[in-house]
Structure 1
Amino acid sequence: MTTVDYPEQHVGDTWKGKRIGYFRDAAGWKRYRSAYQEGFDLLPPPRESVDVPTRFGTVRAYRFGPEHGTPLVLLPGRQAATPLWAANLPGLIAIRPVITLDLLGEPGLSVQSEPLTDDVDQAEWLAECLRVLEPEPVHVLGVSIGGWSAVNLAVHHPERVASLAILDAPFVFGAVSWKMIVVSLGSVLPGMPEKWRNKLLGWISGGAQTPQDLPEGKLIASGMKDFAAFLPMTDQPSKEQLSALKVPFLGIFAGRSIVHNARRRAARARKILPQAQIEVWPEASHAINGEFPEEIAARMATFLGEIEPGDG
């Protein structure tokens, strides 16, 4: 078992009304810790674990892989955290150093202390964290809402970003589907029956029947059930904001995603960012990072190798 330092979390009804994320009760926090540990034990051992102070709370960060080279920062999807990357880390740390973050305000080992009110706050905590971890710009790879977070960071703090890569990210190049809205609503309803919650996870996972039996599924299911999040409305960047992005950009859309029509989103992305590398992977679902870890590692090696030949 890999030793994980679990911070003191906000637990229980005393945190209601304070507009910051908390675990609903002690049993839920215990359940989440168990799922987090189970998933974390599948990861390569991190070189470092650190809680980074920011104005909005402390952010849990881990360093994996080699010490030298421009790091690749991984941002997970909603209701997820670092253990989501179990399938991806072996291939990615073969390329360069990797930093994973648990998103502030989401279930994980980051601990929120102040409300997040808009997309500017969402970018600010991330920029503050990266300033502490790395003095120079970093490469950022985000899946799902982590992809939106990566783009939002680049919009508001372009000086922190060396390149952007997003995996089936919602709210970047268009609105989401009704199925994704249902999943989002289900994630905030604590009384959702387990059968329905598992159906939502199955939708996310491209029709998988038992995602709750996988470590990643257990983690997300517990986050949906046991954590109360108070996050601002996710604002889609304007066409002008996206067009102003100057960093190398890789956007991969999942052909079987429930989030959006992948081909339509890809077409809009190419129109707004003609210099970007935009792809549709037809066999992928919204759970693309777990379905195609080797392919993602190979694609990132090529993408980053074009930017920094010989680095990593």
Structure 2
Amino acid sequence: MSQPHPPTPRRPRRRLRLGVILLSLLLVLLLVDKGRVLFFPPPQVGHWSSPEAQQDYESSYRELLAGLPEAESRLVDTDFGAVHVLVWESENPAPPLLLLPGHSSGAPMWAENLPDFIGQRSIIAPDPLGDAGFSSQKLPLNSPADQGIWISQVLQAMTVEEVHVLGHSFGGANAAHFALQHPEQIASLTLLEPVMIIERLPVSAFFWATLTQLPVPQSWRDRALAEIGGTTVEEVQKRTPMSEMIDAAASGYRTALPTPGRLSDEQWRSIQVPLRVDIAGTSSLAGGQEGLERLEALLPEGEFGYWPEATHSLPMDERAALSPVLLEFWERHD
């Protein structure tokens, strides 16, 4: 007589069921998004969905800058639109620092780091075209290479010959494409958790990013922002000016941006400017330790940092330890 089969453990079944639900929901969201694009083509340039969302964003934007030394505000014309740039001048004649922020933020994303940089050298901090901020896009950005074009044109219009480039997340991807096209304008290139260009994003990141674009309850959006930022829901719910600004941008600004792709080995090797890349060890969206090892093998002359306790919000997580390292790196390559 055969023995009865042991009962199937419940915990794995619940996990499997949850995984199927999440995957199904993701597929539904993607299909809905594809259908929306098919029947209601997106605008060719970024725009705010409502005046209220824009006002909420601008209020937080200004609040974040209020605690910093006053910057000069400039509007610089490019082929793709007018770029709003914040400038902190310094008496240091060394090449300025160009700051390229992550998605759905704008120049104030650097508010926590700027006190360490202001006064050390001149700083140029644009609101990227096609994303939230005070810039005004007029023509489509059809490829990641177009990002490098408007960045180059901003520097040319400002008569800045050479800069140290610091990019985080999506801004890191833009910085890399700028370096591929215009190395003559770059004194050094520093990438903090650059998305998509080292390794592709995990599927979960697309799920959470999609959730921020949908009319869902605030608690869902808080969870999505926490997952993307590698922090806790409690931190997001503190409603700091930074979290308020990013939430208003993620939910209220309709971007029309090209998606960066994974750079080939040949593209990475072609970057000849001094390079530094820093990667988080927790909730990394840049490929984690595996991604860092790929670059170390491709670019043995580069400088790399691995931060085991940091999340994708690496510039803020490791500010105290990271800032002196970066300042020394830029000074060494002036």
TM-score w.r.t. the length of structure 2 is 0.83
Matched, 1:88 2:113: yes
- Structure 1 residue 100: Cα displacement: 0.6
Match of residue 49 from structure 1: 73
Match of residue 18 from structure 1: 43
Matched, 1:250 2:276: yes
The structure 2 residue matched to 1:271, chosen from 293, 297, 309, is 297
- 1:116-265 residue pairs with structure 2 within 5 A? 116-189=141-214, 191-208=215-232, 209-212=234-237, 213-265=239-291
Alpha-carbon displacement from aligned partner over 1:20-58 (angstroms, at most 9, x marks no partner): 100011111111121212222133211x21011001001
Mark the runs of 5 or more structure 2 residues left unpaired by the alignment: 1-40
Alpha-carbon displacement from aligned partner over 1:38-86 (angstroms, at most 9, x marks no partner): 222133211x210110010011111114143210100100001111111
Match of residue 5 from structure 1: none
| Conserved 8 A contact 1:204-1:285 | no
Alpha-carbon displacement from aligned partner over 1:200-241 (angstroms, at most 9, x marks no partner): 221233333232512111111000111111112222222211
Deviation above 3 Å: which 4+ runs of structure 1?
Answer: none
| Conserved 8 A contact 2:197-2:260 | no
Q: Secondary structure at the match of 2:189?
A: strand
Match of residue 58 from structure 1: 82
Alpha-carbon displacement from aligned partner over 1:94-150 (angstroms, at most 9, x marks no partner): 431111111110001111011111112121111111111243121100111111111
* Letter in structure 1 aligned against 2:218: E
Q: How many residues are treated as equivalent by the alignment?
A: 292
Match of residue 132 from structure 2: 107
Structure number, greater radius of gyration? 2
Distance 1:168 1:306, change over 3 A: same
Matches of 1:183 and 1:103, distance apart in 2: 22
| Conserved 8 A contact 2:87-2:122 | yes
* Letter in structure 1 aligned against 2:252: D
Identity of aligned residues (%): 31
Matched, 1:74 2:108: no
Alpha-carbon displacement from aligned partner over 1:185-204 (angstroms, at most 9, x marks no partner): 23433x13211111122123
| Conserved 8 A contact 2:95-2:121 | yes
Distance 1:171 1:242, change over 3 A: same
Alpha-carbon RMSD across the aligned residues, in angstroms, is: 1.7
Distance 1:177 1:110, change over 3 A: same
- Structure 1 residue 261: Cα displacement: 4.1
- Structure 1 residue 260: Cα displacement: 4.5
TM-score w.r.t. the length of structure 1 is 0.89
